[in-house]
Structure 1
Amino acid sequence: MGLLAVGGTLFVGFTAHAPLATLAANRWSFVGFAVCVALLLWRLGGVHAKPSSRGLLVRNLVATRRLAWPEVLAVHMTVDDPWVVLDLADGGTLAVMAIQRADGERGMREARRLAHLVRTLGEAPDPA
């Protein structure tokens, strides 16, 4: 909610000051900048990782990806990582921007919780 309030305030502030600009191009640049900032803050506010019994939904700034638990092999957050990184079964990695090192102990706790879910729910079933 905080990002939406900041985005709304910035949007109103920039668009309210646009008529004070002397050139029409400057007026539109105020409005354009306000729209860009509002869109960026809207996307930042939508970043999340939502676990369920079937898998993990990861929404980052640009893309959203659904993963089944067996697709996630490991959860990492090293000292140099700004957020959690998942090792995937296809050999790739996926950043989880919703769990950040900047959140301090809360971020570390969420990383441990996600690692526990991967260990508990991520085991591929044994072929019978």
Structure 2
Amino acid sequence: MTTTCPSGEHSQHDVYAAQCPCRVLLDLLANKWAALAIGALQEGPQRFGELQRRLQGVSPKVLTQTLRRLEDFGILDRTVYPVVPLHVEYSLTRLGQSAAVPLNALRSWVEENIDQAFRPEPVAG
């Protein structure tokens, strides 16, 4: 995307700027189902049913919408194999693999800190 943000002459994009197109991508990656789908696809290419079983609780409609948006942004590839029945696989692109790194760190942090989040330590003071 070559659109610039109204953030000043030294920065091409600024996610804090109201009109920055970065916000659309940030919104996508910050979505629970997108982050989980990217994490699941780190394990390798998967079919729709495999992803749906891995992402417990996601509806087929929401998973379809999420996968389409990730494909539209170049985060994943959708490969259709011309066999009967139709065989479709999803896999991360190079861009998707790079997005998976910080998302994996965030998922790990959440799993390690969930207990503290629900039982905050008292503030000294």
TM-score, normalising length from structure 1?
A: 0.29
- Determine which structure has greater relative contact order: mean sequence separation of CA pairs < 8 Å that are 6+ residues apart, divided by chain length: 2
Higher strand share: 1
TM-score, normalising length from structure 2?
A: 0.29
